[in-house]
Amino acid sequence: EEVAELTRGGRANDFHGRFAFFTVIECFEDRSVRRDLAAMVEEEPQVENVVIVGSGPAAHTAAIYTARAELKPLLFEGLLAGGVAAGGQLTTTTDVENFPGFPDGISGMEITERFRAQSINMGTRILTETISSVDFGSFPYEVTSENGTVVRAKALVIASGATAKRMDIPGAGDNGFWQRGVSACAVCDGAAPFFRGKPLAVIGGGDSAMEEATFLTKYGSKVYVVVRRDVLRASKTMQQRARANPKIEFLYSHAVTEALGSGKFLEQLKIKDLKTEEERIIDCNGLFFAIGHLPNTQFVSHAVDTDDQGYIITKPDSTATNVRGVFACGDCQDKKWRQAITAAGSGCMSALEVEHYLQELEDDQPVTNGATEVPLEGGQPA
């Protein structure tokens, strides 16, 4: 009974618990009994105060704050999660000039490496594994990675981000001019020196495309908006604003068929009139995809509330979700701003809420079978 009690809720996985555990089993003379009892603790998943899923500014800010609060966070940064290297969308950005503290700017890859280094220096443990599933049926929640690692979490911070949708256009991919004139974030990259005073293009017909095209007119000599249909999906207000800008030219019923350049950077686009099938080449030094993002939330969407696009829904003025002890921050929850600095801010919010939540758990302590009891609503943790 004492052995069973020590294994419940992962108590045998902390230092004092393990010491007590092995002290108890050494009382047995039969080696086979000791071996079987020892296997009980080895099979029990590690119980963590907080598990963070993500690798961008939201995840690392949450990690830094929870580490400073001595919660010993475990962060799963993913292995090409969403098709992007650890660090998230920032790793696909050349120069970051709008994050405070870097007056001369900094590359997207370097700033994400600094985020990671600071998290580790604060005491965060990082696993380069992608989370495949979370079982909310019992508490602490069971978190499983694609590598087979299983841990149990009292609190879960989802900062898994969103992946910008890209089009499979010859010359615009990773082996072409991607990040050398082709981007999926005008606000992130549009102010780069090699876009200034040059003709640029945006693909898309929604509000994001209108907003990005308008933003790019601050830097480019001209901005083409390439729309596959002969109408825009954007709101009337956004349409009117874009149409009123003399630098914006709409190419309706057109598609980009190839990105071209004779050197290191994008120089031209081949475009096709979808009605006449006629193709022509236009000068263009920057191509920006504005066709939406895909939030990386599939691994929790069975229990955590999301909207029709897959973005996690959080409570007003909070990062708390509908599942008790589960918090969401960054681009997996924010479909409006999608900036590194706003993601970092929401990561801070999640960390502070986790700290308060864990304190409430400790103070409350309704215990069932050694684990904190979690009320259920509709079969899911409330």
- CB 232, CB 239: distance < 8 Å: yes
State how far the Cα of 25 lies from the Cα of 357, in Å rounded to an integer. Answer: 35
What is the C-alpha separation between 301 and 373, in angstroms, rounded?
Answer: 22
Instruction: Find the DSSP H helices in 225-310.
Output: 236-243
Active-site amino acid positions: 185, 188-189
Of 126, 132, 108, the C-alpha closest to 51 is 126
Cα angle for residues 118, 63, 338 (degrees, 5° grid) = 95
Which amino acid is residue 346, in one-letter code?
S
**Can you read off the two tokens belonging to residue 16?**
């004092």
Residue written as token pair 């990105």: 259
Q: Which of 35, 38, 45 is nearest to 8 (CA)?
A: 45
Q: Which amino acid is at 96?
A: V
CA-CA distance, 90 to 61, in Å (whole number)? Answer: 14
C-alpha to C-alpha distance for 99 and 102, rounded to whole angstroms? 7
Count other Cβ atoms within 10 Å, centred on residue 6. 25
Q: Residue 235 carries which DSSP code?
A: -
Contact assessment for residue 69 and residue 358, using Cβ atoms and an 8 Å cutoff: no
Neighbours of 197 (CB within 10 A): 11
Half-sphere exposure for 175 (CA within 13 Å, toward CB): 3
Strand partners, 134: 143
Name the β-bridge partners of 197. none
Please give the DSSP secondary-structure letter assigned to residue 211.
Answer: H
Find out whether 311 and 160 touch, Cβ atoms under 8 Å: no
87 vs 83: CA distance, rounded Å = 11
Angle between helices 15-25 and 31-43 (to 10 degrees): 160
